[in-house]
Amino acid sequence: MDNFNRCKLCGEIAAQPTYDLADATIYVCRKCDFHFLNRLDAIDSEVKNQTGLTTKARQYIDSRIGESASLLPKRLKMMRKFIRLPGIQCLDIGAGVGQFLNLLEQKKAHGVGIEPSNLRREYAREKLAVDLRKELVDDHYWQENFVDFFDAICLWDVIEHVNFPVETCAAAVKLLKPGGYLFLDTPDRETLPYRMSQRAYRLSRGKFTFFFPSFYSTAPYGHKQIFTTDQLTGLLQKTGLKIQRVRHTYRLGIFRGDKIILVAQKPR
């Protein structure tokens, strides 16, 4: 996709460069209001000048591995409200270093993970004894061998990272059994920091980007798009899924969180 005027969500030639960041531009679709960065990951984009899991790379992953650790049991708890875990087949897309797969194994579930990052796959194998697949979900490896196979598919903090979210979701749904569940969370574009950044950019005529750089990244596998709740539920419904739950936080309380948390089911 070299023409970023074509919206990544609705497909219309209606996206315009709107918010200039230091090293990229946020495009906004004039038809569906989807926001996405004018960057795509190249295939094997992190391979250049890379020599494997170096000491520096290992230390970096060590320093980051705890960032989402507190979310893992909360995600697992939510899954258990919809599906019995013992014996199920689960695909974790964007599995990172395999921590969630370890939790699934402890609950007697059979999990397999996809992780495009060579470094994270090596780390998972070395530190957690987890073997992750490098093939993306739309690869023929999955699409030819695992149609209607999985009881559950997870995309935890993943859909904002992929090049083509519509195609990724459609490919994932093909692998779900009828009656299977898709579990997903992602940053929420309707949070106050994002809306403040939009307003500050307009009022300052582009001088102040505020929190935009924390939402998007040009690094390999960085954030490329941020959804609203309606956009994401609409996308999943177009793939044929039925929305079962929408939340914005894993915590109890009345305050809205900073995530979109969705559970959707494939009709039987």
Q: Residue 46 has what pLDDT? A: 56
Q: Residue 45 has what pLDDT? A: 55
Question: Is the Cβ–Cβ distance between 107 and 77 less than 8 Å?
Answer: no
DSSP-assigned beta bridge partners for residue 95: none
Q: Along the 268 residues of the chain, how does pLDDT read in single tens digits?
A: 578 999 999 999 999 999 999 999 999 999 999 999 999 998 765 545 455 888 888 888 888 888 888 999 999 999 999 999 999 999 999 999 999 999 999 999 999 999 999 999 999 999 999 999 999 999 999 999 999 999 999 999 999 999 999 999 999 999 999 999 999 999 999 999 999 999 999 999 999 999 999 999 999 999 999 999 999 999 999 999 999 999 999 998 888 999 999 999 999 9
Place of tokens 């992602």: 186
Q: Is 16 helix (H, G, I), strand (E, B) or coil?
A: strand
DSSP-assigned beta bridge partners for residue 156: 185
Question: Is the Cβ–Cβ distance between 177 and 151 less than 8 Å?
Answer: yes
Q: Residue 49 has what pLDDT? A: 47
Q: Is 228 helix (H, G, I), strand (E, B) or coil?
A: coil
Q: Please state, in angstroms and rounded to a whole number, the distance separating the CA atoms of residues 182 and 179.
A: 10
Q: Please state, in angstroms and rounded to a whole number, the distance separating the CA atoms of residues 108 and 151.
A: 14
CA end-to-end distance (rounded Å), the chain? 34
Q: Residue 62 has what pLDDT? A: 84
Measured CA distances, 21 to 6, 26, 27, 59, 253 (Å): 20, 7, 11, 29, 35
CB atoms closer than 10 angstroms to residue 87 = 10
Question: Is the Cβ–Cβ distance between 175 and 154 less than 8 Å?
Answer: no
Residue ranges and CATH numbers for the domains of the chain are 71-188+227-265 (3.40.50.150)
Q: Please state, in angstroms and rounded to a whole number, the distance separating the CA atoms of residues 195 and 188.
A: 11
- pTM for this prediction: 0.95
Task: State the amino acid at position 16 in one-letter form.
Answer: Q
Q: Any idea what DSSP says for residue 48?
A: T
Q: Please state, in angstroms and rounded to a whole number, the distance separating the CA atoms of residues 264 and 241.
A: 6
> Strand order in 35-37's β-sheet?
15-20, 25-29, 35-37, 225-226
CA dihedral 169, 171, 176, 180 (to 10 degrees): 10
Question: Is the Cβ–Cβ distance between 19 and 201 less than 8 Å?
Answer: yes
Angle between helices 99-106 and 71-80 (to 10 degrees): 40
